[in-house]
C-alpha cells in the first residue's frame, strides 16, 4: 500500500508542515499575545473530544 518513497514523503511533508505552523504561531503570538491568551485550553479540549469519540466508537459501540 505504502511504498518507501511515499512514507519518506509523508514524513518529510509532515515535518515541514508542522514546523511551518509552529514558526507562524510563534511569530503571530509575538505580535499580538492578547489574541492567543488561553489557546492551550482549546487545543486540550479538541484533543479530549477526539479521545472521547475514539474511546466511544472503539470500545462501547
| pLDDT tens figures, 7-53 | 999 999 999 999 999 999 899 888 888 888 888 899 899 999 999 99
Q: Return the SS3 of 38.
A: coil
CA proximity to 29, closest of 39, 20, 18:
39
Are the C-beta atoms of 29 and 36 separated by less than 8 Å?
yes
Q: Is the pLDDT of residue 61 over 80?
A: no
Strands, E assignment, the chain:
none
The residues spanned by each domain of the chain are 4-60
Pairwise CA distance, residues 22 & 14, whole Å? 12
pLDDT for position 36 = 80
Confidence (pTM) = 0.59
Pairwise CA distance, residues 25 & 56, whole Å? 32
Q: Quick one: cell of 25?
A: 504561531
pLDDT for position 2 = 81
Amino acid at each position: 500500500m505504502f511504498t518507501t518513497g511515499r512514507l519518506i514523503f509523508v514524513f518529510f511533508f509532515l515535518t515541514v508542515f508542522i514546523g511551518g505552523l509552529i514558526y507562524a504561531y510563534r511569530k503571530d503570538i509575538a505580535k499580538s499575545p492578547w489574541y492567543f491568551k488561553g489557546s492551550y485550553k482549546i487545543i486540550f479540549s479538541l484533543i479530549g473530544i477526539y479521545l472521547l469519540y475514539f474511546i466511544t466508537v472503539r470500545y462501547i459501540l
